[in-house]
Amino acid sequence: MSRVYFHSDWHFNHDFVAQTRGYDSAEEHDEALIERINSRVTKRDHVYVLGDVFMGSIRAGLAQVARVNGVKHLILGNHDAAHPLHRKSNANLRRFLEVFDSVTLHDEIRLPGGRKVLLSHFPYEGDHHERERHRQWRLRDEGSWLIHGHVHDQWTVRGRQVNVGVDKWPYPIEAGVMEAMIGGLEAVGNGKLDAPSLQAATLAYRREAL
């Protein structure tokens, strides 16, 4: 049976980000990240990648993405050449669709149990810079949970926003784990996770990582 995973901000071929994550080079970073992802995700699983996949050469970047297991769905981020904020985005989109089964700006998906969540690279509000950027590409908060990336290590959960970036989650997060975490947050409100739900979600995440 296939599973659904969420992850964001891979930043393949990006020396600066590789160094912030403790690697000597982008090559070392990319090899380690691909190995971690493929240790969990099978070829049949679906992976929603919430933007900022690679930097630099499109050909080289897509070649790295092609090495990642799973049926891959891209939610475009500001660093992705197929995002409309870049020139030639339409032409680049066709190239991205050679390795991604779908490419879009936003999406909505049901978690196990039927809960609907929104997917976007950008959070409703907040940034990892002092200035909040790209407001025109952000969804409006109308009460739904939002799974996102973009903010790197700024937070894991902020209000109804769940950051699934590599800097917070070294491995992709399975949809059932996400549901357990959100359920725990809703059980107590005010952004505090009740201990049983946090423990269950954490154990599930770690068990899959083994």
Banded model confidence at residue 1, pLDDT cuts 50, 70, 90? confident
CATH fold of 4-209, please?
Answer: Purple Acid Phosphatase; chain A, domain 2 (3.60.21)
Burial 164-196 (b: 16+ CB within 10 A, else e): bbbbbbebbbbbbbbbbbbbbbeeeeeeebeee
Q: Quick one: which H or E segment has residue 28?
A: helix 26-40
User: Would you list the domain boundaries of the chain?
Assistant: 4-209
Residue 175 CA to residue 100 CA, distance in Å, equals: 19
Amino acid at the residue 39: S
pTM of whole model > 0.95?
A: no
pLDDT higher than threshold 70 for residue 197: no
Q: Are 36 and 76 in contact (CB under 8 A)?
A: no
Position 138 scores a pLDDT of 87
Q: What is the pLDDT of residues 98-118, one digit of tens each?
A: 999 999 999 999 999 999 999
Q: What is the pLDDT of residues 111-160, one digit of tens each?
A: 999 999 999 999 998 776 677 777 787 899 999 999 999 998 888 999 89
Instruction: List, as one string, the DSSP characters of 90-152.
Output: HHHHHHHTTT-SEEESEEEEEPTTS-EEEEESS-SS--SSSS---GGGPPP-SS--EEE-SST
pLDDT higher than threshold 70 for residue 88: yes
Q: What is the pLDDT of residues 9-62, one digit of tens each?
A: 999 999 999 999 999 999 999 999 999 999 999 999 999 999 999 999 999 999
